[in-house]
Amino acid sequence: MSKLIPGRRNLLKAGAASLFLAGVPIAGLAKGKPPGSISVIILEGGMDGLATIPPVGDPDLMRMRKAISPEGYLPLNDFFGLHPSLKFYAQLMARGHASAVHATAFPYTKRSHFEGQNMIEGGGLSPFSEKTGWLGRALDLADVAGRSLSLDMPLILRGHHENDNFYPASIRGSSRPKADLVNMIAMGHKMEAAQIFTKVARKSEENVRVPRDPASLATYAGRAMAQADGPVASVIRVNNFDTHANQVEEGDTDAGRLAKQLSVVDDVIAGYRRGLGKAWDDAIILTLTEFGRTVAVNGTLGTDHGYASVGLLAGGALSGSGIIADWPGLSKKDQFEKRDLMATIDYRSVCAACLEKSLGLDHDLIASQVFHQPDLPRVFEHLFA
């Protein structure tokens, strides 16, 4: 009986282990493989779509934001350019594997980070109206599991009981807890608690080492998703897009806070591409951001909270490269509340199209059961036809 009494040191290790192991992935969660995979990159803070994909053909752009428009943009066509930080994304565009949707937003206009982030993850019609997320609900409908690459389970993935989260930790002594100890604790519990400890024991047998940066997580996610029985969805967060100040460096509009963060996004997409390998052909990656930024520049070489932004899409499942937009214009009279880029495309429609393609779900089903909006317009043909 004395063997059942764990020592202080081992108990401490188990505590640390459960924290660490809660983030280690379990392979083979997916029950039936849908036609593709979907990965969401959440850009927290509100990304400036007008600097990411500058509408250089709009005469009002340079008039209103010359101080922060990237000079070294890549001309994509007569009307749109691409921020110079998105180098890998440019390669994908040249290969027909990347597109962007411009002047788009979730139906949220109040410019609060908390509410906006809740809206883009929950997919409801108003902030805090959903307890589950749109991706989680879609995975539930498709009967497949997802995986979160963050310490917590983000709202966007909630909705499926088999969703799992992963975040690598390097706590000394925590990577290999004593299986006997975990099993012993499991024996002392019943029902769900016992299942949790069994899960911990299973995870403890894995020893995964991945750097914490988003790009490495993307590579890891891509590799996991490329496996025959791997997950079909993943979520990665990139923060620091709230560029109220120093969005660009003084005298260099190609550098600054936004340029740095866009490089991270570029690396994440490259990481996915590398990790997915051949599975890239059926993959869709899309970005989400809670809102765009003001059209005008503020006094600190930055921009403030706005309305519409841009959505970046990548993946072999796309039918070609281009910019999808119903361009609203940038003149004062065309701006939302005389300050923001107007949204002309409901980004939920874009998400719905990506779900339709990757999970093989019917649009009407997605519209009514995922977004609770039965008449949500279908934009599938603009992205995948």
Partner 1 sequence: MPQLSFIYYYCRVPAMLSVSILVASLLAMPVLAAEMSGWSDKSVCRLVTATADNAAYVAEATRRKLDCGTGAKSSGDEQQSEKKLLPKNQGIVFYPLKLDPQIKQQLLASPINKTEFDFSPYQLATLAQPIQCQFNLRRVNYDNHVDGKVENWNMAKGSMFLTNAGVKIEGRWRMGGLSKDSSYLKHEVNLKLTKAGHLIGKMAYFHLNISNGEALKKPLYIELKPHKRSKPLDINNPQTAELWTDVEDWAGGVWKFTRCKEYTP
List contacts with partner 1 (CB under 8 A).
74-80, 88, 90-95, 104-105, 107, 109, 125-126, 170, 172, 207-211, 216, 223, 273-274, 277, 307, 320-328, 333-334, 336-337, 342-346, 349, 373, 375-377, 379, 382
Residue type at 56? V
CB 341 within 8 Å of CB 310: no
Question: Among 134, 121, 107, 36, which residue's Cα sits nearest to residue 368?
Answer: 134
Per-residue tokens: 359 = 């999970």
Residue type at 103? A
Which one, 97 or 158, has the nearer CB to partner 1? 97
CB of 208 to partner 1, least distance (A): 7
Which one, 191 or 228, has the nearer CB to partner 1? 228
Q: Determine the Cα–Cα distance for residues 376 and 356; give it in Å rounded to an integer.
A: 13
CB of 333 to partner 1, least distance (A): 5
CB of 151 to partner 1, least distance (A): 17
CB of 147 to partner 1, least distance (A): 17
CB of 194 to partner 1, least distance (A): 31
Taken in order 288, 290, 294, 299, the sign of the CA dihedral is: negative
Write the CB contacts of 90 (distance below 8 Å, at least 6 apart in sequence).
74, 82
Which one, 89 or 197, has the nearer CB to partner 1? 89
CB of 32 to partner 1, least distance (A): 25
CB of 277 to partner 1, least distance (A): 7
Please spell the DSSP secondary structure of 18-79, one letter per residue.
HHHHTTS--S---SS--S-EEEEEEETT---HHHHS--TTSHHHHHHHTTTS-TTPEE-SSS
Per-residue tokens: 7 = 């020592």
Which one, 125 or 365, has the nearer CB to partner 1? 125
Which one, 14 or 342, has the nearer CB to partner 1? 342
For residue 157, give the 3-state DSSP assignment: helix
What's 183's DSSP letter?
H
Per-residue tokens: 322 = 């281009």
End-to-end CA distance of the chain: 67
Q: Determine the Cα–Cα distance for residues 212 and 220; give it in Å rounded to an integer.
A: 11
Which one, 143 or 205, has the nearer CB to partner 1? 205
Which one, 107 or 188, has the nearer CB to partner 1? 107
